[in-house]
Each structure stands twice: as structure tokens, then as C-alpha cells.
Structure 1
């Protein structure tokens, strides 16, 4: 009897574990730079703290509910951010709309003039500019270095994150986003 109970217990645990693994599987094969995405075994809630648009209006992630999001935390002094930002702009230009959006959040001390100069120097004018000067949003989301990019599902949960730069305009990134939108 004891062996039967043990067998049932282990079988149940295996089924639960396999179910959890299935839920943590990305909706598309992660290859290239996207294979560095840390896909979470369980979706994580986003911060409900407000961040500001370039004109000072407060917004939250809930204001973008129902969309797949690529949220990029960056700073004007960050060299990898400078390299990565044009690919985020290209991703937004190609795929942005009703179901998907790229959100860039300058975190820390990033004076508005420096932010404007940053975007002008890299030739990006199609991304919304959000600010987290106090770093409260970044800290609440455990952003410990820059750049950090967070992938958010339609339900408003963080499902993956990448620390460091990547080509977000790659075929792999687009396939991932398209699979999440569909």
C-alpha cells in the first residue's frame, strides 16, 4: 500500500510539474539573442506605481492593459541602451498598434534635455518617452542594471525579462511578439 501511495504521489507531482513547465514555455522558439530571455515559470505581476510621460502626465502599466508590451528600462548614459534603442523603435514601427506596444522608461537621473538629445542623436522619433526619475518603478520591478527589457503578456503580467541589449527588430523577436499577440 505504501508503494502505491508513493507512486501516486510522485505521478501527481510529475503531472503538476509538467503542467507548470508547459505554462512556462515561450509561445515561439527562442533562438538567437532571444534565447537569452529569462522566461519565468510563473507570470509575475507588474508594478502599479506611476511613471511619467515626457510631458509630465502620470501613467501606469494598467493604462496599457490588453496589449502585449515590451518594456525597456534605460538611461541616457547607458552605451548598450544607445545601441539597442533603434531596434526597439523599428519593432514598434513595424508591429506597434492595437495589440502591441514598446514602452521605454528612462530611469534615474535623465534630464529632459538629455533624453531629447539621446533620441535625436540615435535618430529615433517614434517611441513614446516615459520617465522614472525617482527609480521607484525600476526598484519595484527589481531592475538592477541597464538596459533591462521586460516582456508583458495581454493579461498584464511579466512573463520574461532580458538584462542587457538585444536586437528587438530580429526575426526571432518578431516571431515571439507575433505568437504572443495571436
Structure 2
């Protein structure tokens, strides 16, 4: 049944934003039902964060891809819990059309983040830093973890506060349906 609903959403018209929204609404089940899906995509800020070597990164660097953007922190227990699942999601579905982008926000020392990635065997996720919470504030974030789904045009289509099992069958179905992936 959910594939029929997804097909109808995708076939609903030439408007990719409508198809994206329809796919998300059809597949948001379980803990993913917490997704707030926007009727119209929203612009994302061009606030700069830094990569592990201190270089600048903006969300515009990911244009052309569907992005699952996740804000997290080392002190946030739900964030720490979901990071391995986010890593497995990116390992399973990441590529030229989809990427999981994680940004540690607030005061999280690079060596501590490096140690965490090693300890939890995080291999697929980028190490991006928003130490002054500038991007987090620019997107209107107020709690962690915060996950935002961004379309290939760089617009927010949905967001979720709180953790999820991002490598669950429901999450994999949701991402595949949203991105048109297999």
C-alpha cells in the first residue's frame, strides 16, 4: 500500500517539490512520523561552518544532492546514540544523489570528536563544526538532535527534533522514496 501511495505522490505531477513532499508524507512511519513536512520548501541559510581541517563549508557545497542534515553534540545522549545509525544510512545509500551531513554544534573539541568517531567506528560521515551555533540558530534550531531534509535545490523540505533509527527499514524506505533511489 505504501508503494502505491508513493507512486501516486511521485506521479502527482511535474513539480518535484510536490513529489518529494508526497513521498515523505507517505513513508514517514514509526519514529519518523515526528517529521514536520513543509507544504512548500524553505530556503536554507548560507552560513559557513568548518571542516575537520578548519576549512569553510556551506550547504551550497551539497547542491544537487538530497541531504539529511543532522545537528548533534558530544554531550547530547540521543545525538550520540543515533550517530552510528546515521553512519550506516550514509554507508547504505550515500552517493552522488544523497548524503548524510552531520554538524557538531556548540563547544565540541575536534580531538574529542575524532576520538568519538574512532570509538563508534564512524566512517562515512563528515566532521563539520558549528562552534558558535551560527548555522543552528540560522535554521531556527533550538534542541538537539535536529535533522533537516534538504532537496537538491538546497531547500528544506522537512525537519525533525529528536532521535530516530536512521538505519531502520522504515528510514531506508523513506530516504529511497524521497530521493527516488533503489
Q: Which ranges in structure 2 are unaligned for 5 or more consecutive residues? A: 1-16
Q: Which has the higher mean CA deviation after the structures are superposed, 97-106 or 35-44?
A: 35-44
In the TM superposition, residue 125 of structure 1 has moved relative to its aligned partner by 2.3
Output the CA distance in 1 between the equivalents of 2:70 and 2:50. Answer: 14
Structure 2 counterpart of 1:9: none
Output the CA distance in 2 between the equivalents of 1:140 and 1:37. Answer: 19
Whether contact under 8 Å (1:82, 1:122) holds in the other structure is: no
Structure 2 counterpart of 1:140: 138
RMSD: 1.6
Tell me which stretches of 4 or more aligned residues in structure 1 moved more than 4 Å: none
Equivalent residues, number: 162
Output the CA distance in 1 between the equivalents of 2:173 and 2:55. Answer: 33
Whether contact under 8 Å (1:26, 1:39) holds in the other structure is: no
Output the CA distance in 2 between the equivalents of 1:125 and 1:98. Answer: 17
Q: Which ranges in structure 1 are unaligned for 5 or more consecutive residues? A: 1-21
Equivalent in 34, 37, 43 of residue 36 of structure 1 = 34
Structure 2 counterpart of 1:87: 85
1:1-182 matches, within 5 Å, as 23=18, 24-27=21-24, 28-182=26-180
SS of the residue aligned with 1:159?
Answer: strand
TM value normalised by structure 1 = 0.84
SS of the residue aligned with 2:33?
Answer: helix
Output the CA distance in 1 between the equivalents of 2:123 and 2:88. Answer: 10
Which of structures 1 and 2 has the bigger CA Rg? Answer: 1
SS of the residue aligned with 2:132?
Answer: coil
